[in-house]
């Protein structure tokens, strides 16, 4: 088991924060990116969620197309990928392939896959190849989506390998490879995806942390995410248990005491069920968390204590 979260983020280049919607992924990713930048690491934070949350968190406009300097933090840049706008090579390729399928089997037989997730994933792979920054922090999309994104390159590389090794008829029929040049390009793309997958599952390069609340549903989602990720050879080094009610605020308030008691029941469950994975608690703040001051406060809980 890892010693602490600080050791995890100081020793890995690519840092992910997964988990159910609303548990605090953007907050933890932004707090982490800020802490790393404050500590001298040239850092890039990339959001692949189709929301404006990163801009809201840093209280400034963050571009969807260009890496934007975060004004309040030295060494920190951000990018808010809009999957609706991103049209990666992979997506174009897939669209071509789907048309090919439609031509072969008819329109009804083909359900169009999640183009948005795919476009996001293509961008995501681009930043997994980053050489400009010391650290890249990903504020990932919610669990199910992320897993679909993660699973794509695996299918893709299996598909490509068989297409390249076999006699290419299907590839030709699908319109994805009709000449040597295209095949060469596909080979290069396959290599790019393979490398991305390799860094994702290399625990010395990437850390896929999960954020959860001490509540039934996020716990179940976490369990599923851990098992799904492990199918892809990705180990989860740390869990961040967010919005923990601090005991010193209870002061005989029955409502808070009941909520705290409920949380305690779940701490026990989290400790036993996810035994062997580092667990870090972050308290529930008296306000919502955005803006650089709050992010630095969260960073202190995560990395200084
Ligand atoms: N520890 C906390 N205390 C108080 N509010 C929090 C805390 N963590 C997150 N929040 C708030 O909860 C909301 C959801 O957090 P966010 O990071 O956007 O979640 P996600 O990215 O997982 O959807 C935001 O409004 C954020 O300010
Ligand atoms: Mg978010």
Helix (H) or strand (E) holding 251: none
Contact 32, 38 (CB under 8 A): no
Distances in Å between the alpha carbon of 28 and those of 23, 240, 295, 303?
A: 10, 8, 8, 11
**Atom 9 in ligand 1: residue holding the nearest Cα:** 24
Task: Look at residue 100 and tell me whether its pLDDT is greater than 70.
Answer: no
pLDDT over 90, % of the chain: 51
pLDDT of residue 214 exceeding 90, the answer is yes
Q: 56 in ligand 1 pocket by Cβ < 6 Å?
A: no
Which ligand 1 atom lies nearest to the CA of residue 29? Answer: 17
Q: Find all residues with CB under 8 Å of 170, minimum gap 6, and list them.
A: 163
The pLDDT confidence band at residue 133, using thresholds 50, 70 and 90, is very high
Average pLDDT, the chain: 81
User: What is the sign, positive or negative, of the torsion defined by CA atoms of 169, 171, 173, 177?
Assistant: negative
- Give distance in angstroms: CA of 206 to centre of ligand 2: 20
Say how far apart CA 29 and CA 45 lie, in whole Å: 8
Distance 105 CA to ligand 1 centre (A): 46
Q: Say if residue 109's pLDDT is above 90.
A: no
Say which residue the tokens 């001490």 belong to: 214
Is the CB of residue 136 less than 8 Å from the CB of residue 14? yes
pLDDT at 84 over 80: no
Tens digit of each residue's pLDDT (9 = 90 or more) over 113-125: 455 555 556 667 7
Q: Residue 154: is its pLDDT beyond 50? A: no
| Per-residue model confidence as pLDDT tens digits over 248-279 | 999 999 999 999 999 999 999 999 999 999 99
What does the pLDDT average to over 120-141? 81
Torsion of CA 89, 93, 99, 103, to 10 degrees: 160
Ligand 1 within 6 A of CB of 243 = yes
Evaluate whether 70 touches 44 at the Cβ level (below 8 Å): no
Ligand 1 centroid to 285 CA: how many Å?
A: 10
Rounded to 10 degrees, the C-alpha dihedral 5/218/86/100 comes to: 120
Structure confidence at residue 290 as a pLDDT band (50, 70, 90) = very high
Starting from the CA of residue 49, give the closest ligand. 2
Model pLDDT, residue 82? 72
Report the distance separating Cα 139 and Cα 53, nearest Å: 10
- String of DSSP letters for 62-100: --SSS-EE-TTSTTEEEEE--TTT---HHHHHHHHHHHH
CA-nearest residue for atom 25, ligand 1, is 288
Range in 27-31, 183-187, 213-217, 295-299 the model is least confident about: 183-187
111 pLDDT tier (thresholds 50, 70, 90): very low
* pTM beyond 0.85: no
State if residue 284 touches ligand 1 by the CB under 6 angstroms criterion: yes
Question: Which ligand lies nearest the alpha carbon of 30?
Answer: 1
In terms of Cα–Cα distance, which of 117, 116, 113 is closest to 97? Answer: 113
* 186 Cα to the center of ligand 2, angstroms: 33
190 has a pLDDT exceeding 70:
no
Alpha-carbon dihedral sign for residues 37, 86, 127, 22: positive
Q: Which three-class secondary structure state does DSSP give residue 279? A: strand
- Find the 290 Cα to ligand 2 centroid distance in Å: 12
Q: Is any ligand 1 atom within 6 A of the Cβ of residue 291?
A: no
CA of 20 to the centre of ligand 2 (A): 9
């Amino acid at each position: 088991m890892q010693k602490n979260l600080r050791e995890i983020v100081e020793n890995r280049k690519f840092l992910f924060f997964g988990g159910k919607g609303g548990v605090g992924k953007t907050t933890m990713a932004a707090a982490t990116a800020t802490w790393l930048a404050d500590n001298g690491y040239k850092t890039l934070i990339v959001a692949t969620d189709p929301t404006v949350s990163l801009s809201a968190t840093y209280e400034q406009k963050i571009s969807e197309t260009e890496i934007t300097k975060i004004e309040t933090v030295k060494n920190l840049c951000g990018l808010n990928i809009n999957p609706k706008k991103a049209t990666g090579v992979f997506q174009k390729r897939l669209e071509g392939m789907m048309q090919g399928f439609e031509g072969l089997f008819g329109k009804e037989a083909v359900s169009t896959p999640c183009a948005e997730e795919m476009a996001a994933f293509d961008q995501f792979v681009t930043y997994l190849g980053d050489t400009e920054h010391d650290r890249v922090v990903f504020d990932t999309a919610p669990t199910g989506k992320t897993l679909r994104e993660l699973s794509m390159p695996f299918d893709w590389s299996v598909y490509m390998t068989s297409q390249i090794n076999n006699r290419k008829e299907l590839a030709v029929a699908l319109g994805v490879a009709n000449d040597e040049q295209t095949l060469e390009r596909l080979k290069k793309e396959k290599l790019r995806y393979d490398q991305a997958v390799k860094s994702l599952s290399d625990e010395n390069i990437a850390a896929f942390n999960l954020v959860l609340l001490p509540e039934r549903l996020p716990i179940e989602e976490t369990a599923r995410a851990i098992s799904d990720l492990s199918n892809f050879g990705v180990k989860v080094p740390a869990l961040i248990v967010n919005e923990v009610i601090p005991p010193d605020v209870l002061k005989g308030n029955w409502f808070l005491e009941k909520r705290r008691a409920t949380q305690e029941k779940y701490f026990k469950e989290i400790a036993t069920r996810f035994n062997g994975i580092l667990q870090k608690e972050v308290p529930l703040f008296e306000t919502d968390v955005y803006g650089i001051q709050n992010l630095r406060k969260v960073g202190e809980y995560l990395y200084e204590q």
